[in-house]
Copies of this chain bind each other. A is one copy, B any other.
Amino acid sequence: MITIALDVMGGDYCPDSNIEGALDALKEDKELKLLLVGPSDLISEKISDWDPELKERAEILNATEVISPEESPVFAVRKKKDSTLVVGSRAVKEGRAEALVSAGSTGAVLGSGQLVVGRLPGVLRPPLASLIPTKKGFKLFLDMGANVDAKPEWLLQFAMMGTIYMQQVCHLEAPQVKLVNLGTEEEKGNALTKGANELLKAAEGINYQGYIESRDVIMGEADVIVADAFTGNAILKTMEGTVDFVMGSVKEVLKSSLKTKLAAMLIMKPLKAKLKEYSASEQGGAMLLGLNGLVMKCHGNASGKDIRVALIKSAQFARENVCGVMREAFKEDKEQ
């Protein structure tokens, strides 16, 4: 049995889509237990019509407060000791759950992960990692936006964590790791990438393949793509914006005349199917790695299906013992 905590009160469609996702995950995975974190009265009522077998695998963990997106994350995490995020994070910290899934505000999820769940010994900073769609399938990208003003040593550790994730969860033996830079030539780069490049070249246990230009990230030219949080955020947000922009332009063309409207009827179905291949919705949320357990952040507008996927993926993460392997790796790393 694997136990995962769910922040019932996170996200735009809480609590209903979260409860729905919880129900579907329990139905799908018979070895899954859930800690439903939120106001116990409310949750009791919401799950009152569940099948008894499912209800048995769903424990309610009372938490009466909610951290809103408007609050200063660090301040709120410190102050609201009875918030769903803090209570859920404490459950992970204390080993009562292997992971916490939340669609709450990014800052608060990062904050409670770092401050309450806490870093594994030896980990300098926990990166936010995400499986992103590329031409060659889903690849792990980190740091997506957790730690600004990075140091070369942090990027080295991100590469280690990415490697362990891809080995344990995706079963790649020696995942290719590349570092985002503004050119692939050795002499190019800023102080950060040049420093990290030297550390990565010297590191054992990392299949480091050098620099990658940001235009090749979406081409899937590496299994693990490492960047500092500022650059990672810029790349991922630019991808999102550009996809929206280009598809918007294509749609404008398709609506522009009778001829093109006819064409639209002919291609809409295969076009949608193609776009679905690249949809991130089967990948769960973004993962805060390097902690005493996994913290998975779902999109604020997560549907019941998104929550279900996040819970199932978190359980897989726990079964593959990613945290245990990371704990060992960083212990050794610290001892050296």
Which residues of A are at the interface with B, using a C-beta cutoff of 8 A? 72, 135, 145, 148-149, 180, 182, 187, 189-191, 193, 213-219, 227, 229-231, 233-235, 237-250, 252-254, 256-257, 259-260, 262-264, 266-267, 270-271, 274-275, 278
Contacts and interface: CB of A to CB of B under 8 A. Distances in A.
B238 A191 contact: no
Given A214-B238, A254-B267, 17 more contacts: A72-B187, A148-B191, A180-B234, A182-B233, A193-B230, A217-B241, A218-B238, A231-B231, A231-B234, A234-B235, A238-B239, A239-B242, A246-B247, A250-B271, A253-B271, A253-B274, A263-B266
A160 to B, nearest CB: 23
B231 A215 contact: no
A115 to B, nearest CB: 17
Give the one of A193, A241, A264, A275 with max B CB within 10 A: A241
Give the one of A148, A227, A256, A274 with max B CB within 10 A: A148
A214 to B, nearest CB: 4
A214 B237 contact: yes
Contacts of A234: 180, 182, 214, 227, 231, 234-235, 238
Given A149-B191, A215-B237, A246-B246, A230 B260 contact: no
A178 to B, nearest CB: 14
A243 B246 contact: yes
A213 to B, nearest CB: 6
A239 B247 CA distance: 13
Given A219-B241, A238-B239, A266 B270 contact: no
Contacts of A271: 250, 253
A137 to B, nearest CB: 13
Contacts of A264: 263
B270 A253 contact: yes
A277 to B, nearest CB: 8
